Amino acid sequence: MKYSSTIRNAFVAILLAACASVAAWSQAAPKLQPGDSVSNQKPSILDQVGLDQRLNQQVPLNLAFNDENGQAVQLQQYFGSKPVILMLVYYQCPMLCTQVLNGFTGAMNGIVRFNIGREFNVITVSIDPRDTPQDAAAAKKKYIQRYRRAGVAEGWHFLTGKKDQIDALAQAVGFRYAWDPEIQQYAHASGIMLLTPSGLVAQYYYGIEYAPRDIQLGLIEASKGKIGTIVDQVLLYCYHYDPRQGKYGAAIFNILRLSALATVMALGGFMLIMFRRDSLAARKGRLTRTAE
Higher pLDDT, 210 or 279: 210
CATH number at 91 reads 3.40.30.10
Number of structural domains the chain divides into: 1
Q: Please report whether residue 188 resides in a domain.
A: yes
pLDDT in tens, 239-269: 555 666 666 665 543 444 445 445 645 555 6
Read off the pLDDT of each residue in 72-91 and give the average, rounded to a whole number.
Answer: 97
Q: Please report whether residue 41 resides in a domain.
A: no
Structural domain that includes position 68: 49-250
Q: Please report whether residue 149 resides in a domain.
A: yes
Higher pLDDT, 41 or 276: 276
Read off the pLDDT of each residue in 211-224 and give the average, rounded to a whole number.
Answer: 90
Tell me: pLDDT of 114 over 90: yes
**3-state SS, one letter per residue, for the chain:** CHHHHHHHHHHHHHHHHHHHHHHHHHCCCCCCCCCCCCCCCCCHHHHHCEECCCCCCECCCCCEEECCCCCEEEHHHHCCCCCEEEEEECCCCCCHHHHHHHHHHHHHHHCCCCCECCCEEEEEEECCCCCCHHHHHHHHHHHHHHHCCCCHHHHEEEEECCHHHHHHHHHHHCEEEEEECCCCEEEECCEEEEECCCCEEEEEEECCCCCHHHHHHHHHHHCCCCCCCHHHHHHHHHEEEECCCCEEEECHHHHHHHHHHHHHHHHHHHHHHHHHHHHHHHHHHHHHHHHC
Read off the pLDDT of each residue in 87-93 and give the average, rounded to a whole number.
Answer: 96
Q: Please report whether residue 23 resides in a domain.
A: no
pLDDT at position 291, please? Answer: 59
